[in-house]
Amino acid sequence: MPVVDDLRNLILGGQYAPGSRLGEVELAEMLGVSRTPVREALRRLQAEGLVEVVANRGARVVEYPGEDLETIFELRARIEGLAARQAAAAATPEDAAHLHQVAVSIRDHAERRDLDEVYRLNAEFHQALVRLGGSTVLAQSISSLIHSPVLLRTYSSFDDEAMRRSVNHHIEIAAAVHAGDPDWAEAVMRAHLFSARASLLGPRNQENR
């Protein structure tokens, strides 16, 4: 497995917490390689948004404050809920069939814990909903809120039950779009994102309940 995959798995698996320093020498020794592939892996992960490289200070795992993550999920639930609503109002039977096909593919890959493919298909599903809604403003708003490292961490934090919920939400959203039911589509999308938030952040603080 390439060094970049090993290091990505270590970060997403929690061996390196957000904010942790990533020393080239230590990583090279642990992975049994020279510093050159480690350096290249860190550059790749920086491009993905998982790692921050600071001149003269080295690399560290990107850290998002909990408050920022709460805000990202809250805004996504509202905006993507609206996108799902608009998609259900505008989609053709062919559009709905495509969404269902993507949702089933997500389920199949999730059963194999193929997270890279689940991540790719999830992006395809959500982007398809936005396209169906036809709103450039919504598309731009959602694009600014989707952070690759946040989504990658979310999927890596799913246990089997959370993954089943996520899979079922995609299939149900496709059903709501097929039924032409905006209220149903919006409600499930909001539940989908709040469920993902709970998997990543855990129980909410008492004052937020």
Task: Check if the beta carbon of residue 169 is closer than 8 Å to that of residue 188.
Answer: yes
pLDDT of amino acid 47: 81
Distance CA 121, CA 107 (A): 10
**Which DSSP state fits 204?**
P
**What's the predicted TM-score (pTM) here?**
0.74
Region(s) of the chain under CATH 1.20.120.530: 66-208
Q: Which fold has domain 66-208?
A: Four Helix Bundle (Hemerythrin (Met), subunit A) (1.20.120)
Q: What is the pLDDT of residues 135-177, one digit of tens each?
A: 888 887 777 666 556 776 787 788 999 999 999 999 999 999 9
Amino acid 204: pLDDT: 75
Please give the average per-residue pLDDT across 35-46, as a whole number.
Answer: 91
Structure tokens at 193: 């994102």
Overall CATH class of domain 3-61: mainly alpha
Distance CA 20, CA 25 (A): 15
Angle at 49 between CA 123 and CA 71, to 5 degrees: 70
When pLDDT is cut at 50, 70 and 90, the band that residue 120 belongs to is: confident
Structure tokens at 187: 């409600």
CATH code 1.10.10.10 region(s) in the chain? 3-61
